[in-house]
Amino acid sequence: MKSIPAFCLSLLCGAALAHAADRPNILFIAVDDLRPELGCYGKDYIKSPNIDRLASTGVVFEHAYCQQAVCSPTRTSLMTGTRPDTTKVYDLVTHFRAALPDVVTLGQHFKNNGYFVQGMGKIFHGGYDDAPTWSTPWQTPKAVAYALPENVELNQRQFEVEPDDVAPARPPKGKVVKPVRDRAKDDTAASKFDTRGPAFEGADVPDNTFQDGKVAELAIKTLQEMSQKKEPFFLAVGFIKPHLPFVSPKKYWDLYDPAKIELAPNPFRPKDAPEYAILPGSEMRAYHGIPEGRIPDDLARQLKHGYYAAISYTDAQVGKLLAELDRLGLRQNTIVILWGDHGWKLGEHDAWCKHTNTENDTNAPLILSVPGMKHAGEHSRSFVEFVDIYPTLAELAGLSLPSHLEGLSFKPLLENPARPWKQAAFSQYPRPNSGKPLMGYSMRTDRYRLTVWVGRDDHSKIDAVELYDEFFDPQENTNIAVVPANAELVEKLMKQWRAGWQGALPVAGHN
């Protein structure tokens, strides 16, 4: 690609540039099940040097929230720039084009504006790719899930029904298996089905044994090819770790001392919260060796060790990609964004995985690095949502914004990370609830998290309300909505909640 001099953020963020060749490239990095547990988020016990270096060149968003804490709905929301009630994707079996057949996705919008758009790894949920998004077919290299033969054999037991957000697998040759309940519809269904390999593994093998190592190699090769093209590129690279199973090469396990790994400080359910607000995590129970009920401390520590090792494994792949970007001389004209699709529980509230409206599950990492930005290395505590990523990248590239978007470009936060911004962020999660379908709508403000459980088909029927004081109770351990003295506060927040995301936009004069 023709070398373009470094440019300042004010120029990059200005009016649409005249020629596509003058527009910045986009390196779009997705990480599956990554909670904001990284060195750049103040977690110095995590070994994430490459993502931390990326953060030093960009802005770290501490209050970035997904719209629904499970893979397909959150990725759909981000890639379409619309919220789950618009996409109608609340599960892992619905494609967004059923409800939005003509929607222009993020990648598609860049493609329509002269970009070469390519995707690899996990961008959309497995099995639900979207061909119109890409200039060339999306691809993911094939790789083993486990390295050790005994674990490979255990993993062959899986069949049609898979844990939550893992693509369905075919049964072993010569064997007929009987499907069980649909886990995408019932989070408790997998709790008694041990159908997969172990939840973690640390074999002494090279990085490219597994999918993320192969994806990094493919991304590097693709960058080399893209550097020869005349048009700007949008390269989407999706890494699957630290998603279960927590499998990574042994050298990443060796970065951590298991004796120093601390367990969750609140291994109990929130007081006075509805029983269905937090489920134990059936996705975890589908793996060999994970018991029903409470997970023993020794096993919990092993699981956290595996999760941390998987973070470091993915961090190393990110580092390889960024190093190649530098080597090719592309960094000076490439916007790099890294996001985790949602948070994750590691024993908090005596639960694992995601699938709730809690802070643990809805708050996710988001780092945006733009060449020439004057606030590189700074943090923003302003609220941003994943639906905001689409308009932000489009505006940074000088593209017009489609009318269907339900997010807001946070470009102004790059110019002033501390400026007043959104008053709240919004998430949601459904529950079947024994034949009475509910939807929990959650609003996170600077001080509180309010979650209102309403009838799925009749939002006027309120089943339960949760309220947590994030200042005095940041772990969300006590629901104070049931305290009579808080009735006025609840009603005040309910009024704000009813105004929705439109009512939380920056006030006039602060845009």
What end-to-end distance do the CA atoms of the chain give, in Å?
Answer: 35
Kind plus residue range of the DSSP H or E element containing 49: helix 49-56
232 close to 20: Cβ distance less than 8 angstroms: yes
Token pair for 240: 């699957």
Phi, psi of 405 (to 5 degrees): -65, 140
Dihedral angle computed from the Cα positions of residues 342, 310, 183 and 444, in that order, rounded to the nearest 10 degrees: -20
Dihedral angle computed from the Cα positions of residues 267, 30, 341 and 332, in that order, rounded to the nearest 10 degrees: 100
The strand pairing partners of 438, in sequence order, are 431, 455
Token pair for 361: 């599950």
DSSP-derived letter for residue 501 is H
As a whole number of angstroms, the distance between CA 304 and CA 306 comes to 5
Token pair for 1: 């690609």
Across the range 425-446, mean pLDDT stands at 93
pLDDT for residue 20:
63
Above 90 in pLDDT, residue 6?
Answer: no
- Closest CA relative to residue 23, chosen from 110, 132, 135: 110
Above 60 in pLDDT, residue 359?
Answer: yes
Distances (CA, A) of 54 to 7, 37, 95, 163, 379: 18, 15, 33, 33, 13
As a whole number of angstroms, the distance between CA 157 and CA 194 comes to 9
Mean predicted lDDT score pLDDT of the chain: 90
Residues involved in catalysis: 71, 125
As a whole number of angstroms, the distance between CA 337 and CA 386 comes to 12
Handedness of CA 291, 430, 138, 115 (dihedral sign): negative
Q: Please tell me whether the peptide bond between 232 and the residue prior to it is cis, using omega within 30 degrees of 0.
A: no
Domains in the chain (CATH in brackets) are: 9-143+197-423 (3.40.720.10), 426-503 (3.30.1120.10)
Phi, psi of 380 (to 5 degrees): -120, 135
Q: Which of 167-171, 303-307, 384-388 has the lowest average pLDDT?
A: 167-171
Phi, psi of 321 (to 5 degrees): -65, -45
The strand pairing partners of 28, in sequence order, are 236, 337
As a whole number of angstroms, the distance between CA 183 and CA 186 comes to 5
The strand pairing partners of 335, in sequence order, are 26
Across the range 346-364, mean pLDDT stands at 98
As a whole number of angstroms, the distance between CA 37 and CA 476 comes to 18
Beta carbons within 10 angstroms of residue 446's beta carbon? 12
Above 90 in pLDDT, residue 348?
Answer: yes
pLDDT in tens, 140-190: 999 999 999 999 999 987 754 444 444 444 333 333 323 333 333 333 333
Kind plus residue range of the DSSP H or E element containing 200: strand 200-201
Q: Which of 25-29, 158-162, 408-412 has the lowest average pLDDT?
A: 158-162
Q: Tell me the Cα Rg of the chain.
A: 22
As a whole number of angstroms, the distance between CA 177 and CA 172 comes to 9
Q: Which of 99-103, 176-180, 270-274, 334-338 has the lowest average pLDDT?
A: 176-180
Kind plus residue range of the DSSP H or E element containing 476: none
Phi, psi of 341 (to 5 degrees): -70, -20
Handedness of CA 415, 409, 117, 315 (dihedral sign): positive
pLDDT band with cut points at 50, 70 and 90 for residue 437: very high
As a whole number of angstroms, the distance between CA 394 and CA 415 comes to 16
Token pair for 190: 């997998």
Above 80 in pLDDT, residue 194?
Answer: no
pLDDT for residue 175:
34
Above 70 in pLDDT, residue 442?
Answer: yes
Q: What is the pTM of this model?
A: 0.90
Phi, psi of 238 (to 5 degrees): -110, 120
Phi/psi-derived region of residue 188, left when phi > 0, alpha when psi is between -120 and 50, beta in every other case: alpha
Question: What residues contact residue 412 under an 8 Å CB cut-off, 6+ apart?
Answer: 419, 421, 511
Token pair for 445: 């403000």
As a whole number of angstroms, the distance between CA 35 and CA 31 comes to 9
